[in-house]
Structure 1
Amino acid sequence: MKIDYYQKAREAEAEIKSYYIHLHRHPELSGQEHKTQEWILGQLKTWKVECRSCADTGVYAVIKSGKPGHTVALRADMDALPVKEQTGLAWQSENAGVMHACGHDVHMALLLGCIRILQECRDCLHGNIVFLFQPSEEQQGGARRMIEEGAMGDPKPEFIAAFHVWPQRAGSITCMPGPVMAQPDAFGIEIKGKGGHGASPHLCKNPIPAMAALVNAIGNITADAVSAQETAVVNICRIQCGEKYNVVAETGYLEGTIRTYDADVRKKIIHRLEKLTKSISEAWEMEGTYHMSSGYPATVNDKTAAHWAARVLQEKLKGAEILTEGEPAMLGEDFSYFGAQCPSLFLRLGCWKKEETKRYNLHSSCFEIDESILAEGTAAFCVLASEFAEKGFETDEDY
């Protein structure tokens, strides 16, 4: 028997919204999602879903149909941001200075709605469906910890998908192949000269002119070292040198970010930064030191998964707006760690309010969603999970 998951999601819309409201009211920062974890586990146990804690504050759950099929995983991130909410919603955050300003409350609500519906319809399912409520996406890389603790083990997913709310038309779903989110690296440069009195520059080695030269040179890296067909960002975001108008500081600091989708492009940029640091420091007879902190790998959608998902959603969710193209973002996402384990798909779910005056970007203290997307996203999760678990990736000839 075929299930109309869109109809099921619409029937459960009020309940799914109640999940969203509860989670929005009680946000928790990265690594502190204890109450969120407890509440989610409570829901799952009430529904008699097999579940356990994972990665300290995360949750692992699975529905095993007992019928032949494939294993698929769905993921939702859990953590909130250190942002003071200013939405004025009736269900505004009750945790002062903490807010779900990136939509992770929505992601969890969608996954909970999906689990509730699929558990009710489990007699019609095939294969296995794994559900990952992942902590610490914003800061500490909770995805990697979940993997280390066996979340991608037995049963081993052959495909994993996740939603992220996005500033686009409410309910629209983007299934784009290729790069979706960048690798966000941080770099720092220290220039060491010789301090002294501002009235005696000849007796000092002022780092500031060397830093200015370095800033200009770094600004040209993407033009000089990166092909026009490739995309990258190198941006200096912090400069610090000196404390007083008449004192030449001994040391100056530059800090910035590198954003790339391609490993070779990233390597070129890092090499150029190291070389410029050394050469410009030496030209000014100073000592330059370059260091960096690597971010999450780039999130790249599997092409087969993206094309398959677009076809399945267009077929099963009649009238839904399914987009197959979009502009990759330079933001970072640790969903990429799951993508290293099996084919992955990071979908965008449009969340714009109908009123243009209420459309705010992710991480804004005023960020809010059009609540109609809760049923849309839940239905899409159900469709993707049930279809893949039964049939896997079907070829074009199967449609």
Structure 2
Amino acid sequence: MKVDFYQKAKEAEEEIKRYYTHLHKHPELSGQEYQTQEWILSQLKQWGVECRTCADTGVYAIIRSGKPGYTIAFRADMDALPIQEQTGLSWSSEENGVMHACGHDAHMTVLLGCIRILHENREQLYGNIVFLFQPSEEHQGGAARMIVDGAMKTPKPDLIVAFHVWPQRAGTITCMSGPVMAQPDAFSIELIGKGGHGATPHICRNPIPAMAALINAIGNITANDISAQETAVVNICRIRCGEKYNIIAEKGYLEGTIRTYDTKVREEIIRRLKKLTTSIADAWEIEGSYYMDSGYPATINNKTAACWAAEILKKEIPEVEILTEGEPSMLGEDFSCYGTVCPSLFLRLGCWKEDEKRHFPLHSSCFEIEESILLDGIAAFCILASAFSEKGFERINEKY
């Protein structure tokens, strides 16, 4: 008998809301998710779900159907942000200066609700369903640590899926193919001149004019060196030089970010940054050094998986509008690390409340979600888990 997963989520709505309010009230920063981990493990063990700790503060759980099939994995991030909440919600954060301002509490709630419903209906499943509660998405590379700790082995997933609550209308899920999130690289440039008194610039080498020239040149990289058909961002976000109005500093620093989807575009931007650093430093007769801190890979949705998921969800969950087009974001996401192991699919769960005055962006101290979307996310995860575990990615490829 076919399971109505949306109805199952509706029946558990009060309990699901309890998960959400608890997680929202007790946020923990990256690498500190010990209480969150303990609470999640207690829920899973209470339900009789196979689980273990992973990546220090994370959780790995699995439902083994015992029947032949495929393995699909779902991921939820766990960490909060160092932000003082100002939503005024009755379940506001009880941790001073810490808040779930990026919706990770909603992601964990969706995964918990999904586990509960699938476990209760496990006789309808095939293959294996893996669940990853991942720490440190905001910092410290939690996804990579989950992989190192065996989260993507034995069984290895054939597909991994994640949601992110998104500042768009509630009741929508965006399931787009191709680029979804960019690779977020950080760079810094050090310019070393010769310090001295502001009254004697001729015997000094002031790095500030060189910094100004370099800032202007960097601002033209995307216009002059990158095709208009490509998408990229190169942005200087921090400048440091000098301590007093009449003293020429010896050193100046520029710090910024590169955001790209394409490896060749990224490499060209890096090449130009290095070249501009040395050439402009030479022109001003100072020294220039370029440093790079590479970010996570870009998050690229597998085309086949995106087409398959959109079709399944449109058919099985008419209560939610499924969008197949959206604007890629220049934000970064370490979910992309899982995509190096198996095909991946990163969905957007519309979360805005009906009242436009309560529409706030991610990472805002006033950020909040429409709680009813938790049911949308749970139903969607359950539907994808049930469909994929039986038919797998091989049959998907035959159609798409």
TM-score by length of 1: 0.99
Distance 1:187 1:150 in 2: 31
Distance 2:98 2:151 in 1: 28
- Name the residue aligned to 1:386: 386
- Name the residue aligned to 1:194: 194
Alignment of 1:1-399 (within 5 A): 1-393=1-393, 394-395=395-396
CA offsets 1:290-326 (integer angstroms, 9 cap, x no match): 0010111110000000000000000110232000000
Contact 2:87 2:367 (C-alpha < 8 Å) held by counterparts: yes
Alpha-carbon offset, residue 392 of structure 1? 1.4
CA offsets 1:111-165 (integer angstroms, 9 cap, x no match): 0000000000001111100000000000011111111111100011000000000
Distance 2:19 2:162 in 1: 18
Alpha-carbon offset, residue 396 of structure 1? 8.7
Q: 2:7 is aligned with what amino acid?
A: Q
CA offsets 1:174-195 (integer angstroms, 9 cap, x no match): 0000010011111000111111
Q: 1:360 is aligned with what amino acid?
A: F
RMSD: 1.1
Distance 2:138 2:5 in 1: 31
TM-score by length of 2: 0.98
Contact 2:78 2:104 (C-alpha < 8 Å) held by counterparts: yes
Provide the secondary structure at the position in 1 that maps to 2:169: coil
Provide the secondary structure at the position in 2 that maps to 1:8: helix
Residues 295 and 397 (structure 1), Cα distance of their counterparts in 2 relative to 1, 3 Å cut: closer
Alpha-carbon offset, residue 171 of structure 1? 2.0
Distance 2:250 2:136 in 1: 38
Count, aligned residues: 399
Alpha-carbon offset, residue 224 of structure 1? 1.2
Contact 2:174 2:323 (C-alpha < 8 Å) held by counterparts: yes
Distance 2:125 2:171 in 1: 26
Q: 2:136 is aligned with what amino acid?
A: S
Q: 2:244 is aligned with what amino acid?
A: K
Distance 1:221 1:397 in 2: 42
Provide the secondary structure at the position in 1 that maps to 2:168: coil
Q: 1:316 is aligned with what amino acid?
A: E
Q: 1:49 is aligned with what amino acid?
A: V
Distance 1:200 1:156 in 2: 67
Residues 242 and 220 (structure 1), Cα distance of their counterparts in 2 relative to 1, 3 Å cut: same
Distance 1:61 1:265 in 2: 38
Contact 2:87 2:366 (C-alpha < 8 Å) held by counterparts: yes
CA offsets 1:256-288 (integer angstroms, 9 cap, x no match): 000011111000000000000000000000000
Q: 2:359 is aligned with what amino acid?
A: R
Q: 2:224 is aligned with what amino acid?
A: D
Contact 2:194 2:250 (C-alpha < 8 Å) held by counterparts: yes
Q: 1:26 is aligned with what amino acid?
A: H
Q: Percent identity?
A: 74
Residues 396 and 238 (structure 1), Cα distance of their counterparts in 2 relative to 1, 3 Å cut: closer
CA offsets 1:71-118 (integer angstroms, 9 cap, x no match): 000000000000000000000000100000000000000000000000
Distance 1:216 1:260 in 2: 20
Q: 1:30 is aligned with what amino acid?
A: S
Contact 1:171 1:377 (C-alpha < 8 Å) held by counterparts: no
Contact 1:180 1:300 (C-alpha < 8 Å) held by counterparts: yes
Distance 2:116 2:398 in 1: 33
Q: 1:229 is aligned with what amino acid?
A: Q
Provide the secondary structure at the position in 1 that maps to 2:118: helix
Alpha-carbon offset, residue 203 of structure 1? 1.1
Contact 2:305 2:396 (C-alpha < 8 Å) held by counterparts: no
Provide the secondary structure at the position in 2 that maps to 1:376: helix
Distance 2:397 2:55 in 1: 39
Distance 2:320 2:28 in 1: 33
Mind listing any 5+ residue stretches in structure 1 that lack a counterpart?
A: none
Q: 1:222 is aligned with what amino acid?
A: T
Distance 1:305 1:17 in 2: 30
Distance 1:391 1:335 in 2: 24
Alpha-carbon offset, residue 397 of structure 1? 8.0
Mind listing any 5+ residue stretches in structure 2 that lack a counterpart?
A: none
Distance 1:356 1:215 in 2: 38
Q: 2:239 is aligned with what amino acid?
A: I
CA offsets 1:193-238 (integer angstroms, 9 cap, x no match): 1111111111111111011000000000001111111100000001
Distance 1:396 1:281 in 2: 53
